[in-house]
Amino acid sequence: MSNTLGYTGKKLGFGLMRLPKANGKFDLEKTKAMVDLFMQRGFNYFDTAYVYGDGDSERVAKAALVDRYPRESFWLVDKLPFWDAERPEQLQEYFDESLHRTGAGYFDIYLLHSLNRELYEKAQRFGAWEFVKGLKEKGLIKHFGFSFHDTPELLDQILTEHPEAEVVQLQINYADWENPAVQSKGCYEVARKHGKPVLIMEPVKGSALATLNPEMRKVFQDANPEASVASWAVRYAASLEGVMVVLSGMSNLAQMEDNTSYMQHFSPLSEGERATIAKVVDMLKQVPVIPCTKCRYCVDACPQGIDIPNAFEIYNELLMFDDRPRAERKYARIEEGRPSSCIECGSCMAHCPQHIEIPEELKKVVATLGE
């Protein structure tokens, strides 16, 4: 039987990151309705973080969940951000503030947030592992681990050097399973090799796999007209062995109703359903995307400081998933080094292992998404 840290709940978790908004703030009453439906249908796993909504996610967790339900009736997961920390003492300050904002008394799982190579080295220097072990000894957290965004090789190193980590949160979805920039499959296999339960984030790739282009949507709809497009992605993630919880950052009651409807009595994918997803994955591979692997060698060479991999990723996702509002939101967040500032000097191309005609591809990005 898979290790689940004693968690016996259902496999769908409520990610409190993309909550409904009103006047620029999370809408408490709508969130309460979502929490109530989630709990009524037998789900009880909630995920927040210090940085979500500049702290509003934790405050809403208190008002919508902690203040309204017995503490032992749900699991609440929080995360320790330390990318801006300048001294080790700030780790305690972040934790104390999270505990105060949520009013939770303790966290069922506490994760070092978004580890990559740079942040792992910082965690080592700041004594983050000893810090979270101390929290567990004091009864302030029940379990600890980390969320992760880097290579399988680094994940293997971390789990080898820190076998005390109890759980790993990974970005896994069928589009990223073999994506060289994400390496979902490789990271999943490393976590399984080390016997760690897996928490899954981005199963729908930030809503992209809930949209898809019309041809791909039709494949799913022909296979099962009753199932939402998003349900295929969530069930794909939940069907993987060793997965404890799949997180969904639901932002309205309709999404909550849909996700809980098919996850209430979860059934893993059949062989026929796996074949349907494989067909869509093959279609995704045929989309004429820019073959960028996000190595970022080009960025170091660019005199304009253009975030070339990010621009290419947004453009590629628009081609694959047909979600223009999402692409435009992400594109608008590029504040410095806009693609339109390219001077066509060609410095980037000498450093690109994929031999991409970068200036020409940037012109396509600008033509499609604007200045």
Query: How does the average pLDDT of the chain come out, rounded?
Result: 95
Query: What band does 101 get if pLDDT is binned at 50, 70 and 90?
Result: very high
Q: What pLDDT, on a 0 to 100 scale, did the predictor assign at position 1?
A: 42
**Confidence (pTM):** 0.89
pLDDT band for position 345 (cuts 50, 70, 90): very high
Strands 243-248 and 141-148: unpaired
The Cα-based distances of 346 to 45, 84, 142, 296, 309 in angstroms read: 50, 34, 53, 15, 15
Rounded mean pLDDT of 59-63? Answer: 98
Q: Hey, which residues does 78 pair with through a beta bridge?
A: 110
pLDDT at 24: 86
Query: What pLDDT is stored for residue 2 in this prediction?
Result: 59
Q: What is the mean pLDDT of residues 87-99?
A: 98
The pLDDT tens digits of the residues spanning 261-272 come to: 999 999 999 999
Comparing 42-56, 146-160, 172-186, 189-203, the range with the smallest average pLDDT is 172-186
Q: Is 286's pLDDT higher than 60? A: yes
Instruction: Output phi, psi for 88, to 5 deg.
Output: -55, -30
The CATH homologous superfamily to which domain 12-279 belongs is NADP-dependent oxidoreductase domain (3.20.20.100)
Q: Locate tokens 């930030």: which residue?
A: 206
Residue 369 has pLDDT above 90, yes or no: yes
pLDDT of residue 208: 84
Residue 65 reports pLDDT greater than 80? yes
In the chain, ranges of CATH 3.20.20.100 domains: 12-279
- The first and second tokens of residue 337, run together, are 């080094």
Cα angle value 38/39/44 (rounded, 5°): 95
SS3 157: helix
Whether residue 175 is predicted with pLDDT greater than 50 in this model: the reply is yes
Q: Is 91 helix (H, G, I), strand (E, B) or coil?
A: helix
Q: Is the pLDDT of residue 197 over 80?
A: yes
Beta bridge partners of 245: 199
For 237-284, the pLDDT digits (tens) are 999 999 999 999 999 999 999 999 999 999 999 999 999 999 999 999
Q: What is the mean pLDDT of residues 92-96?
A: 98
Q: How confident is the model at residue 295 (pLDDT cuts 50, 70, 90)?
A: confident
Does 109 have pLDDT greater than 60?
Answer: yes
